[in-house]
Structure 1
Amino acid sequence: MPPAGRHGRPVDLSGHPQRFRRGAAGVRAMVEVGAEHGVDARKCLHDTGISPAMLHGDTVVSGTQELAVAANLVTATGSASGVGLAVGERLSLRAYGVWGFAMLTCPTVRGAVEFGMRYLPLTYAVTGLDMRVSGGEASLIVDDEGSSAALRPFLVEREIAVTAGILRTILGESPPSMRVEFRVPRAVSVDYEKALRTPVRFDAPHNAIVTDIAVLDLPLPQSDPLTMTVCERACRSLLSERCSPCVAQNVRTIIAEGVTDAELIAARLHLSARTLRRHLAGEGTSLRHLLDEVRRAKAIELMTMHRLSVEQIALRLGYADAATFIRAFRRWTGTTPGAHPSRHKWS
């Protein structure tokens, strides 16, 4: 069972939903929609640690980075209604890899919903989902508690569009009884019924997809118990990998112990050097950046707390001579050790 918060909210082992890592398809979809609205990719990715080149291949990003991209997109488009729907439409079941394939092979709609919520951290969701049954209807509610007010409309639209699309895909069509409900008033500039291919109500108690309870027991046309078992095993493995502390933080710890060689660091993490570089790139950093980060912090500590000379600090940090260290320090801080603000504390 994966770690989960209230109402199926995806969390990592530290309890922070935004820190969970996922593929870059969600970010890629936002950049594509941004481009349609005249927003440059670099503007969407500004100050997120993600470059346009990282949007291809198997890059992994954090939920925090994805939320930052969402904030950039919402700001750049002026919080335009319908942007979340457009992003959600791009996240087809295929974009979810083994999680999506497993959903197809579940025995019933109920089984697929339960499976999907059990492994929700493997999706691009940054909200939670809660299934409730009442009065002969089943409601899959988007739990937007904790979302910022500025992002809430975008995130709700996106999750509703994604979930409605997944339901259509696993059944082959939209259930006749299905409807979508939004808590907000209708935006006249958006044809929600056309975008979601289902009736839509506004000023509702919840943001939800609602259908007749009988839909939960509909068999799925591609159900395959054996394939589902194999897929679930893969999902458990992937979940374990992505729930673990981020690679960058582990690398920082190893560097702080004095290990700076890439091969040795990778070996400590049971990775190849190439895989280590890929993981770090997915987290928006690099080994050189982390080395600089740790060395800079250590250098300032040695200057302020231990009153060491530049030559002694250079030796402690593994530099060949003081001049090499000074050049590195200038690159990190824009100044020399002697001119750094911390200098007065030990001079």
Structure 2
Amino acid sequence: MSTEQEAGVRDWDFARGVASVVLMVGYGREHGVPVGRMLQGSGLTEKVLADPDAQIDAHTELAVIRNLVRELGGRPNLGLDVGRRYRITTFGIFGFACVSSPTLGEAIAFALRYLELSFTFCIPAARWRPGEFVARIHDERVPADVRRFLVERDVTAMHQMLCDLVGHRIELLRAEFDFSPPTDMDPWVEIYGMRPLFEQPHNLFTLDPAVLEKPLPQANEHTWAMCLAQCRDLVSRRRARTGIAAEVRERLVPRGGVDGFAAPPGIDTVARDLNMSTRTLRRHLDTAGTSYRQLLDEVRRALAEEMLTATPLSVSDVAIRLGYAEASTFIHAFKRWTGTTPSAYRRGAH
């Protein structure tokens, strides 16, 4: 029997901090690329990069990535070299939450749920099965001109983060990539502890699942709970949307807040309210990097968390108010969103 977990986002087009850009600009400078050329066309300045609280969109980081690849793309294993520089400290509160997680497995589950607090462009999906943990790395939506660089960078950064969490190098059981093999294989073997396969159908790596059950050296239940709360707050603030997504989201939130006893409108109703066809609305949302289902899940999750922590409503009553026909369906959805059940979430909050 296998267990699967998808990431909390389906695409790389999410807001992010500047730490990743700072790292790449520093790498470029070390290899003779002036800051001005690294930031060309991004709209960024050194003043913005000096602000640890600055937020940018993914396309801004992508512009810097393209500059790096243009300037240094001739270097062998460029993505590998850059990726190994991403450490737990690069990820701020997101990394700190992972460090304080009880086990490596729980840190991975958390990281997938809050992936939009990372800097990745490749979207991982995890599968636990007897004798093996498989991380499938989706790069289908990554622009082709920087795809190889980003697969190399992101997979190596993920592996480096895992190593930082346990305090030593983790050797992979398997690593497979869908591009041609590098001319120099030695750095790959040095980093991953094995020889990867290339020109494979998918990008993936596997671990011994026994590693996932071991307690992390800096696990701390109180710190973890505090970090989780901060990460939830950060995600909520970053998800402040504009344009068509904001208009749809507004129509999904009950006018009476948590007291508004009304199932959310379907996509056809929302489309009519916005004076467009359902097909056109779907297309606009896809262009904005989201979907009706994703926005509905965001609204339902926010309302569910509020009702579970701020009202005495039963789980069944919460399910009904969110438009679910059965409590079991709501419980399954809530566990997909948060990794825990509504009842456990309420106990933890209290």
What's the TM-score, normalizing by structure 2?
A: 0.62
Task: Identify which of 216, 229, 235 aligns with 1:233.
Answer: 229
SS at match of 1:180: strand
> Contact (CA 8 Å) 2:12, 2:120: kept in 1 or not?
no
Answer yes or no: is 1:27 the counterpart of 2:27. Answer: no
Provide the rounded CA distance (Å) in 2 between the counterparts of 1:184 and 1:192: 16
1:243 alignment partner AA = R
Asked if 1 retains the 8 angstrom alpha-carbon contact of 2:171 and 2:194, the reply is no
In 2, the alpha carbon distance for the partners of 1:46 and 1:175 equals 37
Change (3 A) 1:91 1:115: same
Whether the aligned pair in 2 keeps the contact of 1:74 and 1:80 (CA below 8 Å) is no
Is 1:146 aligned to 2:145, yes or no? no
Q: Which moved more, 1:121-130 or 1:212-221?
A: 212-221
- CA distance in structure 1 between the partners assigned to 2:34 and 2:185 by the alignment: 23
User: Which amino acid is 2:126 matched to?
Assistant: M
Q: Return closer, same or farther for 1:153/1:79 CA change in 2, 3 Å cut-off.
A: farther
1:80-116 per-position Cα deviation (integer Å, ceiling 9, x unaligned)? 4422122222221011111111101111111010000
What are the ranges of 5 or more consecutive residues in structure 2 without an aligned counterpart? Answer: 247-350
Identity, % of aligned positions = 32
Query: What amino acid sits opposite 2:36 in the alignment?
Result: R
User: Aligned-pair distance for 1:165?
Assistant: 0.8
Structure 2 counterpart of 1:155, from 140, 147, 150: 150
Alignment partner for residue 213 of structure 1, among 209, 227, 232?
209
Residue 107 (structure 2) aligned to one of 103, 108, 112 = 112
The aligned residue for residue 10 of structure 1 is 9
2:342 equivalent in structure 1: none
1:190 deviates by 5.4
Distance across 2 between alignment mates of 1:80 and 1:130: 30
Name the counterpart of 1:311.
Answer: none
The 8 Å contact of residues 8 and 128 in structure 1, kept in 2 or not, is answered as yes
- Residues 172, 205 of structure 2: 8 Å contact kept: no
Q: Quick check: 1:181–1:200 contact (8 Å CA) kept in 2?
A: no
Specify whether residues 41 and 246 from structure 1 end up closer, same or farther in structure 2 by C-alpha distance, changes over 3 A only. farther
Number of residues of Structure 1 aligned to a counterpart in Structure 2: 238
Structure 2 CA distance for aligned equivalents of residues 236 and 57 of structure 1: 22
Inter-partner Cα distance in structure 2 for 1:193 and 1:36? 22
5 Å-filtered alignment, 1:41-120, equals: 41-58=35-52, 59-78=54-73, 80-120=75-115
Deviations 1:209-267 (A, max 9, x none): 311122222221221111111110000000011111369xx9xxxxxxxxxxxxxxxxx
Unpaired runs of 5+ in structure 1? 1-5, 251-347
Indicate how the Cα distance of structure 1 residues 214 and 226 shifts in structure 2: closer, same or farther if over 3 A, else same: same
CA distance in structure 1 between the aligned counterparts of 2:94 and 2:189, rounded to whole angstroms: 27
Amino acid at match of 2:108: V
**Offset from partner CA, 1:297-337 (integer Å, 9 cap, x none):** xxxxxxxxxxxxxxxxxxxxxxxxxxxxxxxxxxxxxxxxx
Q: Secondary structure at the match of 2:145?
A: coil
Residue from 212, 236, 239 that aligns with 1:243: 239
Is the 1:133–1:139 contact (alpha carbons within 8 Å) kept by the matching residues of 2? yes
CA shift, 1:157, in A, is 0.8
Distance (whole Å) between structure 2 residues aligned to residue 135 and residue 206 of structure 1: 21
Q: Which residue of 2 aligns with 1:342?
A: none
Distance 1:246 1:41 in 2: 31
Amino acid at match of 1:192: P
Aligned 8 A contact 1:9 1:128 in 2: no
Structure 1: how far apart are the matches of 2:142 and 2:180?
A: 19
Q: Contact conserved, 2:8 with 2:113, CA < 8 A, in 1? A: no
SS at match of 2:202: coil
Choose 37-46 or 178-187, whichever is displaced more. 178-187
Tell me how far 1:65 sits from its aligned partner.
Answer: 0.5
Among 158, 163, 169, the residue aligned to 1:168 = 163
Partners of 2:44 and 2:242 in 1: how far apart? 16
Deviations 1:284-304 (A, max 9, x none): xxxxxxxxxxxxxxxxxxxxx
